[in-house]
Structure 1
Amino acid sequence: MPRLRNSLFPLLRAASPLPSPIHRRACRLLSTSTAITPAPFSLEDYLVASCGLAPTQAREVSKKAFHELSRAHRRPSDELSSSRINSASNPDAILALLSGVGLSRDDIAVVVSADPLILRASVKNIAPRLLALRDRLVATISRNSKDRVAAKLEFYKRILGVSESEVSTAVSKMPNILRFSDEILLRKIKFLVSEAAMEPRYIVERPVLLALSLEKRLLPRHYVIKVLQEKGLLDMSFYSVVALGEDTFKSKFIDRHKDSVPGLADTYAAARAGIMPSRI
């Protein structure tokens, strides 16, 4: 991942002790967070919510972090709490620094997976950790990326029953679909096939379907489509509807029918919040 490698060099400069806008922002984050009593810190949850790791990956990285802490403090890992990760500095400040020099969410996930204890580094001493990471990290990314891509391509071929060339074409259209966990993809594919009545080949020809959120986009809009179709107010394909931007969708299918289908806006909002109504 050349972009990640290139981003590490300005990051090393940004992490020097000299004042910079990035440092000032990070320090503000640190000072603000220490003024408020934080909720109990869960490293595993933080890795999922803030670093973009899948739950299973977060669990493994969390174990790795506590193992490294255990070695450093010469204490059994079960005697260490998640607060030890959060004790030296605010992890949000480290993420702000990494993001501030151009690292994407995926790049940050790679960095944190390789060195989870970087989250407890202070802004001033992050540079030595990155220097130690730099060469090992780029080599690891290169090696693991090939293996992950090959495994993901095989997954799509097996689950969707399509050819390698069809999968390759789908990935070229939407590279983002390579980063989702098998668990998330299985749920999306099951929904698209069972509930939205799509053929596997139709899905792979429209890979954006696999990149959309199941909870925030596919399920709520499918519910709205069914309601409008039952009332004879809609004659469009599921794909055409879910591909629309949020504002356009709400204007065309929620606001336009607010009088003919009272309560549709509220039930759509509830569906996006994870509360699926049985019927309006």
Structure 2
Amino acid sequence: MLKTDSGLLSTDLDKVVKPNVVFLQQCGLGACDIAKLCIRVPRMLTTNPERVRAMVACAERLGMPRGSGMFRQTLQPVAFLSEEKIATKLDYLKKTFRWSDAQVSIAARKYPSLLRTSSGALQQRSQFLLWEVGVEPAYIAHRPIILGYSMEG
């Protein structure tokens, strides 16, 4: 973590780091989960505790309950995205894959990294899967991991 975010050395442990760790533990994350999260999102422990609470609230609004197996994976993509950017990405997914609100919610819960996938990559995958292969939008919504696969593969 120190290799990618040396801010930990200058952050107040009692006012920032410890409250963030305690809050994440209250959300159902164990020490290993917090460590894995911080490897992916090093600023998670050094950011303002109110921002960490906002990240958790955002993950919950996406339908991911605290303590679930995917909760940590959902915190990664929403960590430093604004509510507006997330809403924009969800709208883009609805339009690009012709999904309903429920289908977007299913896809985001099953594959939260979808929120980090670029619009260009999503557009390519939608054209290939929907138009060239003929896959139904509902099929993709229930198996969104296929959107993370390599196009060449």
CA displacement 1:19-53 (0-9 Å, x = unmatched): xxxxxxxxxxxxxxxxxxxxxxxxxxxxxxxxxxx
TM-score, with structure 1 as normaliser: 0.30
Instruction: Return the match for 1:197 from 106, 128, 134.
Output: 134
- Over aligned residues, Cα RMSD in angstroms? 4.1
Give the superposition deviation at 1:152. 1.2
Q: Secondary structure at the match of 1:214?
A: coil
Give the superposition deviation at 1:103. 2.4
Question: 1:12: which partner in 2?
Answer: 8
Give the superposition deviation at 1:102. 4.0
Instruction: Return the match for 1:145 from 77, 82, 91.
Output: 82
Number of residue pairs matched by the alignment? 102
Give the superposition deviation at 1:142. 6.5
Give the superposition deviation at 1:205. 1.9
Q: Secondary structure at the match of 1:204?
A: helix
Superposition pairs for residues 3-152 of structure 1, below 5 Å? 12-13=8-9, 102-104=38-40, 107=41, 134-135=47-48, 138=51, 144-152=81-89
- For 1:14 and 1:196, locate their aligned partners in 2 and report how far apart those are by CA, in whole Å: 52
Give the superposition deviation at 1:144. 3.7
**AA at the equivalent of 2:8:** L
Question: 1:173: which partner in 2?
Answer: 110
TM-score, with structure 2 as normaliser: 0.51
**AA at the equivalent of 2:39:** L
**AA at the equivalent of 1:13:** L
Give the superposition deviation at 1:143. 7.4
**Structure 2 gap ranges (5+):** 12-36, 56-77
**Structure 1 gap ranges (5+):** 16-100, 112-130, 218-280
- For 1:186 and 1:213, locate their aligned partners in 2 and report how far apart those are by CA, in whole Å: 13
- Indicate the percent of aligned positions where both proteins have the same amino acid: 29
- For 2:133 and 2:116, locate their aligned partners in 1 and report how far apart those are by CA, in whole Å: 23
Distance 1:194 1:172, change over 3 A: same
1:156 aligns with 2:93: yes
Q: Secondary structure at the match of 2:140?
A: helix
- For 1:157 and 1:184, locate their aligned partners in 2 and report how far apart those are by CA, in whole Å: 15
Q: Which has more radius of gyration?
A: 1
Give the superposition deviation at 1:188. 0.8
Question: 1:250: which partner in 2?
Answer: none
